[in-house]
Amino acid sequence: MIHVATDNGQTTVPVDDCWNRIGSRGDGSCPRLVEYARCLNCPVFERGAALLLDRPLDNSPGLPHASYPSAQAASSASREHAARALAAHDLADVDRASLEAALVFRVADEWLALPAAALRQVDEPRPIHSLPHRRNRVVLGLVNIRGALTVAASLGELLNLDRNGPARHASRTVYARMLVATHRGEPAAFPVDEVEGIVRFATSTVMPVPTTFAHATASHARGVLAWRDTTIGLLDTARVFDSLARNLR
């Protein structure tokens, strides 16, 4: 059981991480598996993942503090458990034979997605240590990811996204996250403004990049997906990492 703080910071809501106990990450005894085959297809997992993604961050100025049932060590373990629940092992449960999967997130006012296969971790924001004598705005610095120093990069700068536009999301309570992705064994961390969750789609539904997309975004995108009343820019992992490598030189 994972306990998630509500927005007022005073109470916690228990989230049953059944996917780790009786689901496809557990012993497989859940009766819902007969209907849904995998936990990622199940509405129970969808609701639990939404609560984990939307929980307030601990020790963040101006944000409510999460309240966990035991001491600091237990709190840390709970956060780690929550992050693992949204990490690559769960993302990799998608049946790629029939559908593709991508993680939807927002940077500035742009909704984007990265293939789930490239994702390794969705975590709270972490301190980024700048690199001396480097003035490249794409490369933010280094961040400690489970004991390993990992390059942190700005997708906003890489894609030339406008952060000075109107604050369309100011009326909603949203929480920043840090995505950790890999390509050809090389990891990178990307701070994002909001994470929506996993979308599953057929390859045939990917549409060409429209001419209205900014050039930098278009050159890094495989296509776009229709989603709610907008579109998602489906990023090409190889192009993103190739551009990052050029900025590291």
pLDDT at 11: 52
Name which residue leads in pLDDT, 40 or 169: 40
| Percent above pLDDT 90 for the chain | 43
Give tens-digit pLDDT for 192-238. Answer: 999 998 899 999 999 999 887 777 888 999 999 999 889 999 999 99
Q: At what angle do helices 72-85 and 43-53 cross, to 10 degrees?
A: 130
CATH code of domain 100-248: 2.40.50.180
Nearest C-alpha neighbor of 53 from the set 203, 219, 230, 176: 176
Q: pTM (2 decimals)?
A: 0.63
Residue 83 has pLDDT above 90, yes or no: no
187 contact partners, CB below 8 Å, separation of at least 6:
120, 145, 148, 150, 151, 180, 181
Where along the chain do its domains lie?
Answer: 2-85, 100-248
pLDDT at 72: 40
Average pLDDT, stretch 58-64?
35
Name which residue leads in pLDDT, 36 or 27: 27
**CB burial class (10 A; 0-12, 13-18, 19+) of residue 91?**
buried
The first and second tokens of residue 56, run together, are: 């307030």
- Backbone phi and psi for residue 165, each to the nearest 5 degrees, phi listed first: -75, 180
Name which residue leads in pLDDT, 4 or 103: 103
Half-sphere exposure of 7 (CA within 13 A, CB side): 5
